[in-house]
Amino acid sequence: MTSEFLNPARGTRGMAVAPHALAAQSALAILREGGNAVEAMISAAATIAVVYPHMNSIGGDGFWLISRPGAEPVGIEACGAAALAA
């Protein structure tokens, strides 16, 4: 693995965290283009499915906490039996 994949991607007006630098960079690209946090997360997840497939792909688990201004946070648990229902 090259050091390119170990270095964090950085931003000043948004943040994305992922277990692979390319996934974080894809999420930051969405934010830079005016996308929202959910769209950035979907971009990171799609990138993870390619560059780190055992972490997020068919059969992978997902745990999301989505908070919108003025609304109660929503938790999505997409694992085990919950993922089966999706």
- Indicate whether 27 pLDDT > 80: yes
Strand partners, 52: none
Quote the pTM value: 0.62
pLDDT in tens, 29-73: 999 999 988 899 889 988 988 888 777 656 566 777 888 889 999
CA-based diameter of the chain, in Å?
Answer: 43
Task: Give the chain's domain count.
Answer: 1
The H-assigned helical ranges of 4-75 are 21-32, 37-51
Token digits of residue 65: 């906490």
CA 11, 15, 16: angle at the middle one, nearest 5? 115
Domain encompassing residue 19 = 3-85
Token digits of residue 39: 């769209």
- Indicate whether 3 pLDDT > 60: no
Q: 9-13, 15-19, 37-41: which range is least confident on average?
A: 9-13
